[in-house]
Amino acid sequence: MHDTFGLVAEPAAAKADPRGAVALAGVALDHRHANSYLARPGDRMKHIFLLIDGWAARYRLLSDGRRQITALFLPGDLCDLAWRDGGKAVQHVIAITAIRALRIELGTFERQIECDPGARTIVDHEAHLLAEAQCEWLVSLGRRSAVERLAHLFCELVERIGAVNAGGVGRCEMPLTQIDMADITGLTPVHVNRTLQQMRRSGLIELKSRQLKLRDFARIKKIAFFRSSADNPPLKNNLPEALKVFQTISGLAAVQTQGRLAHA
Amino acid sequence: MHDTFGLVAEPAAAKADPRGAVALAGVALDHRHANSYLARPGDRMKHIFLLIDGWAARYRLLSDGRRQITALFLPGDLCDLAWRDGGKAVQHVIAITAIRALRIELGTFERQIECDPGARTIVDHEAHLLAEAQCEWLVSLGRRSAVERLAHLFCELVERIGAVNAGGVGRCEMPLTQIDMADITGLTPVHVNRTLQQMRRSGLIELKSRQLKLRDFARIKKIAFFRSSADNPPLKNNLPEALKVFQTISGLAAVQTQGRLAHA
DNA sequence: CGCACACTTGAAGTGCCTCAATAAGTGTGG
DNA sequence: CCACACTTATTGAGGCACTTCAAGTGTGCG
């Protein structure tokens, strides 16, 4: 199932670059393989990404090898707003899956924010969502048990993907390996493994071949002390709106976004 | 030792309110006692604070009593930028010490950002500093040991206060109780106590009667895997600049800021 | 088919927690 | 200035959640 978002300003003016991407006015469609770096510490970033398909992660690496993932970027997220300040990457950002993204020059991006109040609102809101999510991660790492941390992570993912159906069952793609989950939740891969098994045994989740299913969303939320967007400002970003804003200035052909499991 | 920052636009126009505060154009000087709430979850916030003196903390409280502090606000910090989005507080914010702050109406604040590029820069930068600090907290909670967590917290505080002298010795006020430190570092108060003793025994720190001294900043930095602002964009905010911006629009008399131990 | 990587399982260790009690500060009112 | 209440800091003993180390067992892919 596919949806089409965004209107095309000047599709005819769009120019294909050698790698098959389209570039105009500082905005282009970009493709990346899984495990490719979007940024490394010290890199001077000249652009910012609006993720369309695929997942990415930002992480800190200590000199002795310890890794902590500090943010997950999902479709609709801006990656990485931290690059705006000084244009220098401080952390690693890696593609977890293959990725399609709008690559927006920082200059173009700033100009758009300056001129278009709608863009400004979206960006401010995005930044706020990230900050809120990070606070919840702090709570997980500081005060939640292993089961609670994983439960909370899964709740967050399913809500951000927008994949909780009316029956209270949530599903989503789960491209994260157990090592990734460990580096998000501050646990060891071994303990993540045992905790997942415990969660499966107790009928909380199903997880195999990169597919996650939350069997009773309400129950998992309670276990995780999860603040649902039902009672709060929504956790979810707004990909269609963001695409509209930045496609309009790019003259880019309308981008097809993959249908989400949300609709299944 | 006292410094005076900021110029006065219209001191004569400033009007004293019943509590001794001065109000004009949506900006006023505000005083709060230690342990008073600056916000509670659900509160509709009509203003934002620019901290001048004193410390504040933002925290999440789980329904079973577990507490995690998610941010510390020090002099020069804006408290709390999260209130901009929707004007609703999601977390508790409490004064750790007595506080003096510029209370800025949200409307005035937004208008200023809109008109004054300098204000916009300061605010964006402040938000960025907070995000960076939060990432480091994530690393602490997820991947650092108890000693490393406390060492990192102390490094951060001393740098933010701006109190590392040329000799490599850092000092600062330490109004946090061991309970507070526990709720920042995700430990129990008992374990914080034992860890602090260990750090004292090994000659890393001195800490008594609310005064912290880092005896060898370079060594503590290494232990904490601390990213110093020497190699990175500075951790420190810019109180004088911020005061100038917001005092200018307020017609408020120049505010005296307490001399910091940095100068001692 | 075989290599690489993710996942799984077991056994043993430890860093931090829990419970519990005492001591030392700190502020308050008489 | 002391007596009282309350919070903060300290210390001890025992337990558990999570880690570490070390083998395996799938499983996808060229």
CATH code of the domain in which A180 resides: 1.10.10.10
Enumerate the nucleotides of strand D whose atoms come under 7 Å of any protein CB. 7-13, 17-22, 28
Residues A160 and A56 in one domain: no
Q: Could you tell me if residue A158 is inside a domain?
A: yes
Res. A252 pLDDT band, cuts 50 70 90: low
B222 at interface of A, judged by CB pairs closer than 8 A: no
Q: Could you tell me if residue B89 is inside a domain?
A: yes
Pick among A70, A181, A235 to test the B interface (most B CBs inside 10 A): A70
Residues B43 and B170 in one domain: no
Q: Could you tell me if residue B137 is inside a domain?
A: no
Average pLDDT of chain B, as a whole number: 86
Determine the average pLDDT of the residues in A6-25: 43
Q: From the Cβ of B209, is strand C under 7 Å away?
A: yes
Residues A120 and A201 in one domain: no
Task: Decide if pLDDT at A258 tops 70.
Answer: no
How far apart CA A113 and CA A101 sit, in angstroms, is 19
How far apart CA B205 and CA A3 sit, in angstroms, is 59
Give the domain extent around B109. Answer: 2-127+236-260
- Residues B17-69 have pLDDT tens digits of 444 444 457 899 999 999 999 999 999 999 999 999 999 999 999 999 999 99
Size of interface A-B (CB pairs under 8 A): 99
Task: Decide if pLDDT at B230 tops 80.
Answer: no
CA of A176 to C1' of D30 (A): 23
**Among chain A residues 170 through 189, which have CB within 7 angstroms of nucleic chain C?**
177-179, 189
Res. B237 pLDDT band, cuts 50 70 90: confident
Residues B24 and B94 in one domain: yes
Q: Could you tell me if residue B157 is inside a domain?
A: yes
Q: Could you tell me if residue A137 is inside a domain?
A: no
pLDDT of the residue at A22 = 47
Q: Residue B202: which residues within 8 A CB-CB, separation 6 or more?
A: none
Residues B24 and B97 in one domain: yes
Q: Could you tell me if residue A132 is inside a domain?
A: no
Q: Could you tell me if residue B55 is inside a domain?
A: yes
Enumerate the nucleotides of strand C whose atoms come under 7 Å of any protein CB. 5-11, 15-20, 25-26
How far apart CA A51 and CA B122 sit, in angstroms, is 28
- Partners of residue A84 in chain B, C-beta under 8 Å: 124, 128
pLDDT of the residue at B253 = 63
Nearest residue: Cα versus C1' of C7: A193
Residues B248 and B123 in one domain: yes
Residues A107 and A10 in one domain: yes
A41 at interface of B, judged by CB pairs closer than 8 A: no
Residues B27 and B153 in one domain: no
How far apart CA A236 and CA B10 sit, in angstroms, is 45
Residues B78 and B21 in one domain: yes
CATH of the domain at B121: 2.60.120.10
- Residues A77-106 have pLDDT tens digits of 999 999 999 999 999 999 999 999 999 999
Count of domains observed in chain B? 2
Residues B107 and B7 in one domain: yes
Determine the average pLDDT of the residues in B134-153: 98
**Facing residue for B186 by CB, picked from A84, A91, A141:** A141
pLDDT of the residue at B5 = 42
Residues A120 and A148 in one domain: no
CB A95 within 8 A of CB A32: yes
| Nearest-nucleotide field for B194 (CA, C1') | D10
- Residues A115-158 have pLDDT tens digits of 898 999 999 999 999 999 999 999 999 999 999 999 999 999 99
How far apart CA A212 and CA B220 sit, in angstroms, is 43
Residues B120 and B164 in one domain: no
Q: Could you tell me if residue B230 is inside a domain?
A: no
CB contact under 8 A, B138 and A137: yes
Res. A10 pLDDT band, cuts 50 70 90: very low
CB contact under 8 A, B82 and A127: no
CB B2 within 8 A of CB B259: yes
